[in-house]
Amino acid sequence: MTTPRDAVDEFLAHARVERGLSDNTVAAYRRDLRDYVAFLEQRGISDVQEVTAVEVSEFVREGSQSKARSSVARSLVSVRNLHAFAHQEGFSTTDPAEAISPPKQPSRLPKALSVDEVARLLAAPDRDDVVGLRDAALLELLYATGARVGEVCRLDLDDVTGVLRDPDAGLRLLGKGSKERVVPLGTYARDALDAYLVRARPAFAERATLADHALFLNLRGRRLSRQSAWAIMQEAAARAGITEPVSPHSLRHSFATHLLTGGADLRVVQELLGHSSVATTQIYTLVTVEQLRQVHRLAHPRARGE
């Protein structure tokens, strides 16, 4: 007979010595399994062999009532690892946790800025300054195309010069899995890019020790990094008086949400975002539905039961 407490001790020793897991990981296992052992002992289970899927499911259900879903999911991982180990070591003839799934994580709706917030954000950079011209072009491009920040930072000068000469041409972006898509630019982004290329980029390029063909350059004349793009976004948000957490990806979310709110077809938005599946794009329809609910709740005289 192996008690649940003894099984846990053996498992933790195995995790630390044989698997070489970190002290923090072992400590996390210990915390989760301490609760699990207490749960089993309260039910009079003195042998790990006696544990069935019913007890594991009940442990998960009870945890779901008082803990965050992420915490319950982590605890279940610990329990599943324990029982897999006990089964492998012969402490138990079955693995009662093998088929138990963690609680489904709630869908997190992407954070989109309002149209007014985007307008204030795009107006924030000082366009009388070379840095401001660059920042304005970057932000306008992100919002106009819905591009990922990495896609924009990877753009070279040659990727846009031809596009700016042809008002009907779209910008080619290389997305995940090297999947290429073409997106329209729009007047505001074109004007901002043209101003940056004519009035600002040469000043950045002069500071480079070697020629860099990147579209967006930093103060050393080298390719702008995603981290720098994030910092540009933070500064613009602060100047625009936006207090909610934002990132360059916020403009991608806003791009999609505003298109759908304006009546764009879901399949078109999918192509513009470069999503391989329309199911990924559908999360933005949840955003717009939630916005409609909020407007209805606030504006309709009988929406709140008052």
Structure tokens at 44: 């009079």
The better pLDDT of the pair 130, 179 is held by 130
- Per-residue confidence (pLDDT) for residue 110, from 0 to 100: 63
Closest to 80 measured CA to CA, from 92, 66, 67, 68: 92
- Per-residue confidence (pLDDT) for residue 172, from 0 to 100: 93
Across the chain, which distance is largest between two alpha carbons, in Å? 80
Averaged over 206-226, what is the pLDDT?
Answer: 91
- Per-residue confidence (pLDDT) for residue 60, from 0 to 100: 87
* Residue carrying the six token digits 């010069």: 161
Structure tokens at 176: 């995940």
Cα atoms found within 13 Å of the Cα of residue 41, Cβ hemisphere only: 10
Highest-confidence range of 94-98, 189-193, 260-264, 270-274, by mean pLDDT? 189-193
Q: Is 11 left (phi over 0), alpha (psi -120 to 50) or beta?
A: alpha
The answer to whether residues 118 and 254 touch, using CB atoms and an 8 Å cutoff, is yes
- Per-residue confidence (pLDDT) for residue 184, from 0 to 100: 92
The answer to whether residues 29 and 12 touch, using CB atoms and an 8 Å cutoff, is yes
Catalytically annotated residues:
148, 176, 249, 252, 275, 284
Angle, helices 187-199/130-145, rounded to nearest 10 degrees: 150
Which domains are present in the chain?
4-88 (1.10.150.130), 115-245 (1.10.443.10)
Average model confidence (pLDDT) for the chain?
88
pLDDT in tens, 225-256: 999 999 999 999 999 999 988 999 899 999 99
- Per-residue confidence (pLDDT) for residue 93, from 0 to 100: 93
Instruction: Compute how many other C-beta atoms are within 10 angstroms of the C-beta atom of residue 291.
Output: 15
- Per-residue confidence (pLDDT) for residue 105, from 0 to 100: 58
pLDDT in tens, 50-100: 999 999 999 888 887 777 777 888 889 999 999 999 999 999 999 999 888
Dist. CA 36–CA 25, nearest whole Å: 17
